[in-house]
Amino acid sequence: MPTTTGTAKVGQKLTANPGVWGPAPVTLAYQWFRSGVAITGATAATYDLAAADLAKTITVRVTGSKAGFTTAAKTSAATVTVVVGTLTGPTPTITGTKTVGSILTATPGAWGPSPVTLKYQWYRGTTAITGATAQTYTLVAADKGSALKVRVTGSKTGYTSLSRDSALTAAIG
């Protein structure tokens, strides 16, 4: 009977281990299933788990064929239920002149697996600045003497959200 290896988590790869077929050589074909339903186009020895697989189980059917022999098909046991994936993201940085009237820009870095939707929230110290939710922020008089930071939150269907905070800037002049 075939088996699968890998972690049942969105964004991870499962690999089919077909077992021993004979007499050799035997041509093997693969079909992956999501909770018993064939996954269109999933016919390789590996399968990348997608958001559609979340909360489902995965199996693989291996079909062996050889001229002069009866074709045989065997299906693996189901994986555990597929769980949410994990996003990765670096600590964002802030660029720009730290004086009232200047524009600061958040540089989020590379988040993955791509594409990831990013949201921004600027903070004056530990207090969120109302309405400051763009990648850029224009410094106002209320910022003078305070240090600012930006929080970048990444989201993607089938994955847990992830937030990263930049370091605080020097006091705004």
- What is the average per-residue pLDDT within 111-116? 96
- Closest to 79 measured CA to CA, from 23, 139, 171, 3: 3
**Contact, 122 vs 148, CB < 8 A?**
yes
Q: Tokens at residue 98, please?
A: 């730290």
Domains 3-83 and 87-165 share a fold: yes
pLDDT at position 100 is: 97
pLDDT digits (tens, 9 = 90+) for 22-60: 999 999 999 999 999 999 999 999 999 999 999 999 999
* Distance, CA of 29 to CA of 147 (rounded, Å): 60
CATH architecture of 3-83: Sandwich (2.60)
Ramachandran angles phi, psi of 83, nearest 5°: -105, 170
Q: What pLDDT does residue 23 have?
A: 94
The phi, psi pair for 131, rounded to 5°, reads: 80, -5
Going by pLDDT thresholds of 50, 70 and 90, the confidence category of residue 128 is very high
| pLDDT for the residue numbered 106 | 98
- State residue 153's pLDDT score: 98
Q: Model's pTM, two decimal places?
A: 0.85
> CATH 3.40.50.300: does it fit domain 87-165?
no
* Percent above pLDDT 70 for the chain: 100
Q: Which two tokens stand for residue 86?
A: 């994990």
Rounded distance, CA 116 to CA 159, Å? 10
- pLDDT, tens digit (0-9, with 9 covering 90-100), for 56-103: 999 999 999 999 999 999 999 999 999 999 999 999 999 999 999 999
Going from N- to C-terminal start, the domains of the chain cover 3-83, 87-165
